Each structure stands twice: as structure tokens, then as C-alpha cells.
């Protein structure tokens, strides 16, 4: 019988190598964000805002957006059966208000609202903004330039997250891994063809949108992650991450709002990521979990990494980066909950509606 003796140096290498590889994967997967191009000559755009009970968020969006509108631009707010003052606020800001009908069978609320907005638009460039987005002063010009550069692509921007309450900071790792999973901000950059899009900010040439079937496409109209479904139908995606172009506050309703929101989308997003990107991102998450078991050096290395990478995703608390296992527990719970519901085809609740897990 052969007895294999592992010396202390080899044992230490075996303990540390997986952690180091995962830690390096974190840097590789969120290497550098990609800013929107600078704006060129103005082109008329139709800005479509699907809104359901958004009286708290809408004023901030419209106040920042209306100064950017130029000659020929349209601002269309689609009131998706709101029970608050959403429509009144939009009218007072000078927007055209479109009432979305009740979603037909097979449709979900947001795709239906976007479809109604496009029907009311008259320009050749479409911009879709969520009501909680806070546009930077050059957002529309940058989107116009990006669409002009790649007219056959769906242009998408992931806004920088600005948490309000303490609970909102707990989405730190959800935001970071969302940027990692798209793979466009990795060390491979432009060589990666993205398969996802970020729903808060989208822009597309109208003929590209209509040729792909738009939000009426059978795989888009019933998708709870309609941004990812739209990216698949169009086929070509340009992704940007630029804190100067747009920011947002994702889940002002607190921890329950945060968990329900990410449960709705994170499993689908993970399934849509390239396998190699999903594996490297999972390796990074594993390194975060392993660091406390390896000792102070590993823990500090992971905490500092969380501090740097989280600032690329949003204004997350440095204190939470130092205590990142708390955010890690929330992240793992959301991933497991989302995956369970996705696999079991369990519905989730969102904005007062049931969202089918399919």
C-alpha cells in the first residue's frame, strides 16, 4: 500500500490556490466599465417611460430628463394602471400620457406598456427608461450617438446604484455579479458578444426594433426579464456601464422589495450568461465564502476587493464591504430562492401582479 505524504507547503498551496484563483477571477470579470460615446448631431428620439405607481420616482426622472429634450423629441409616459398620481405628474411635466390597456393573455405588464408607448411614438429612434432612473446631463446624447454608431444593435446602460436605506445596500453583490455575468466589462471586453441587456435604460433604432418583433415578439411579451428576451430577439447588443450617464435607486421599499425584485430576475440572468462567465463569477463568490476560513489575510483581501468592485456598481457602504459576509448571505438566499422558483415554475409577486416564473 502506497502512503502519500503531503508536506506543509503543499498543503498550504492546496488550501490557498482555489481562493487566489477565485479572487483573481473577480478582478477579471469586472475589469473596466464602458462609458457611453460622446453625443454627436442631435437626432429626434421618442423617450418611453413605462410607469406603474411611480409618483415618488417620476418627478426626479422628468426634472432631469426634460432639459435634454431637443427639437423633434417626444416624451411618452405610459400609465400602466397606476393607482396614484403618476399620470398627473407626467402631464404637469409636459409628457404625453398613454394609458396601457390590461395586458392581454400571454402578456406581462411592462412589455405591454412598452408596446403601447412605441405605438404612440413617431420618431425613428426609441429610448426606454424605467421611472426610477436618474439621467445624467448627457444621457440622451450618448444614447443617440451609440445608436447612430451601431444602428442594428440594442443599446443598453446599467445605471449606477444609489441606495437610500441601509437595507438597500444589501443588494451589493447582486449588482456586482450582474455586471460580471454580462461579460462585457471583463478583461475580454469588446471580444465578447453580450447575450443580455439591462432593462432600466435601452435605446434602439425603430426599424431594428420592429424587424425583431419588439415587445410583441412571443418570447418577449410574456417574459419577466423582457430586457434579456429583447436582447436575444435583436441579436446584437451594445452594453455600457457609466455612472455619469445614469443612476437609479432600485428598491426603495426595503429588504422585502429587494428580495422580491432580485428573485424575479437573477436566475434568468444567470442562465443567460455565457457559461465561462457564470463559472468565473461563481468562483469569485466561492472565494468570498472561503476567505473567512483561511484567516485574516484572505478576509482583508476579499473585503478590499468588495470595496473596489462595489464602487463600480454603485454607492455602496464601505462598512458593508468590510462586513461583506452579511451581503453574501443575502445574495445566496436570493440566488437559491430565485433558482428554486425558476426550476419549480413558481410565480413571484411584483408591483401588485403575479409574474409567472417561466
Rounded Cα distance, 247 and 249, in Å: 7
Rounded Cα distance, 305 and 24, in Å: 10
Determine the average pLDDT of the residues in 326-336: 95
Q: What are the angstrom distances between the C-alpha of 87 and each of 39, 118, 201, 206?
A: 31, 18, 21, 26
pLDDT tens-digit readout, 28-62? 999 999 999 987 777 899 999 999 999 999 999 99
- Dihedral pair phi/psi, residue 109, rounded to 5°: -60, -50
6 has pLDDT over 60 = no
Using 50, 70 and 90 to split pLDDT, how confident is the model at 230? Answer: very high
Using 50, 70 and 90 to split pLDDT, how confident is the model at 204? Answer: very high
Using 50, 70 and 90 to split pLDDT, how confident is the model at 208? Answer: very high
Burial 247-273 (b: 16+ CB within 10 A, else e): bbbbbeeeeebbbbbbbbbbbbbbebb
Query: Is the distance from CB of 156 to CB of 146 less than 8 angstroms?
Result: no
Give the residue with greater pLDDT, 346 vs 115. Answer: 115
pLDDT tens-digit readout, 166-177? 999 999 999 999
Residues whose CB falls within 8 Å of the CB of residue 216, separated by 6 or more in sequence, listed in order: 111, 115
Query: What was the pLDDT predicted at 344?
Result: 72
User: Lowest-confidence range among 143-152, 169-178, 201-210, 345-354?
Assistant: 345-354
Q: Minimal CA–CA distance to 145: which of 50, 244, 238?
A: 238
Domains (ranges, CATH) in the chain? 12-32+271-355 (no CATH), 46-254 (3.90.550.10)
Using 50, 70 and 90 to split pLDDT, how confident is the model at 205? Answer: very high
Element containing residue 50 per DSSP (H, E): strand 46-51
Using 50, 70 and 90 to split pLDDT, how confident is the model at 20? Answer: very high
Query: What was the pLDDT predicted at 350?
Result: 54
343 has pLDDT over 90 = no
Percent with pLDDT over 90 in the chain: 75
Using 50, 70 and 90 to split pLDDT, how confident is the model at 190? Answer: confident
By CB neighbour count within 10 A (0-12 exposed, 13-18 middle, 19+ buried), where does 142 fall?
Answer: buried
Rounded Cα distance, 358 and 101, in Å: 23
Cell numbers of 224, please?
Answer: 419577466
Give the residue with greater pLDDT, 100 vs 344. Answer: 100
349 has pLDDT over 70 = no
Determine the average pLDDT of the residues in 232-237: 96
245 has pLDDT over 60 = yes
Query: What was the pLDDT predicted at 355?
Result: 61
| Region of 180 on the Ramachandran plot (φ > 0 left; ψ -120 to 50 alpha; else beta) | alpha
DSSP state of 190: G
Query: What was the pLDDT predicted at 242?
Result: 80
340 has pLDDT over 90 = no
358 has pLDDT over 70 = no
> What is Dmax (Cα atoms) for the chain?
85
- Give the bridge partners for 156, in sequence order: 202, 239
Rounded Cα distance, 317 and 335, in Å: 22
Tell me the three state secondary structure of residue 160. Answer: strand
Query: What was the pLDDT predicted at 346?
Result: 62
Cell 444609489 identifies what position? Answer: 162
Amino acid at each position: 500500500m502506497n502512503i502519500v505524504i503531503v508536506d506543509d507547503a503543499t498543503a498550504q498551496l492546496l488550501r490557498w490556490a482555489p481562493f487566489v484563483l477565485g479572487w483573481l477571477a473577480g478582478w477579471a470579470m469586472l475589469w473596466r466599465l464602458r462609458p457611453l460615446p460622446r453625443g454627436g448631431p442631435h437626432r429626434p428620439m421618442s423617450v418611453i417611460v413605462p410607469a406603474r405607481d411611480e409618483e415618488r420616482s417620476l418627478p426626479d426622472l422628468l426634472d432631469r430628463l426634460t432639459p435634454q429634450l431637443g427639437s423633434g423629441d417626444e416624451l411618452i409616459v405610459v400609465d400602466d394602471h397606476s393607482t396614484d398620481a403618476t399620470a398627473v405628474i407626467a402631464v404637469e411635466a409636459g409628457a404625453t400620457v398613454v394609458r396601457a390597456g390590461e395586458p392581454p393573455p400571454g402578456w406581462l405588464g411592462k412589455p405591454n406598456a412598452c408596446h403601447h408607448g412605441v405605438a404612440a411614438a413617431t420618431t425613428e429612434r426609441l429610448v426606454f427608461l424605467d421611472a426610477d432612473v436618474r439621467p445624467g446631463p448627457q444621457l440622451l446624447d450618448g444614447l443617440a450617438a451609440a445608436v447612430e454608431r451601431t444602428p442594428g444593435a440594442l443599446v443598453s446602460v446599467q445605471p449606477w446604484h444609489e441606495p437610500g436605506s441601509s437595507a438597500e445596500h444589501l443588494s451589493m453583490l447582486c449588482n456586482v455579479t450582474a455586471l460580471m455575468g454580462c461579460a462585457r466589462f471583463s478583461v475580454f471586453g469588446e471580444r465578447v458578444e453580450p447575450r443580455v441587456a439591462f432593462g432600466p435604460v435601452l435605446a434602439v433604432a425603430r426599424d431594428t426594433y420592429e424587424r425583431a418583433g419588439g415587445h410583441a415578439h412571443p418570447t418577449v411579451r410574456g417574459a419577466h426579464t423582457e430586457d434579456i428576451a429583447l436582447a436575444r430577439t435583436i441579436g446584437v447588443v451594445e452594453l455600457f456601464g457609466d455612472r455619469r450617464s445614469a443612476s437609479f435607486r432600485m428598491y426603495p421599499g426595503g429588504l422585502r422589495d429587494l428580495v422580491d425584485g432580485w428573485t424575479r430576475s437573477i436566475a434568468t440572468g444567470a442562465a443567460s450568461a455565457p457559461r465561462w462567465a457564470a463559472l468565473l463569477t461563481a468562483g469569485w463568490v466561492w472565494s468570498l465564502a472561503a476567505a473567512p476560513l483561511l484567516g485574516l489575510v484572505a478576509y482583508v483581501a476579499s473585503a478590499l476587493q468588495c470595496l473596489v468592485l462595489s464602487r463600480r456598481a454603485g454607492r455602496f457602504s464601505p462598512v458593508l464591504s468590510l462586513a461583506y459576509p452579511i451581503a453574501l448571505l443575502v445574495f445566496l438566499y436570493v440566488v437559491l430562492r430565485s433558482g428554486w422558483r425558476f426550476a419549480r415554475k413558481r410565480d413571484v409577486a411584483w408591483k401588485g401582479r403575479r409574474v409567472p416564473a417561466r
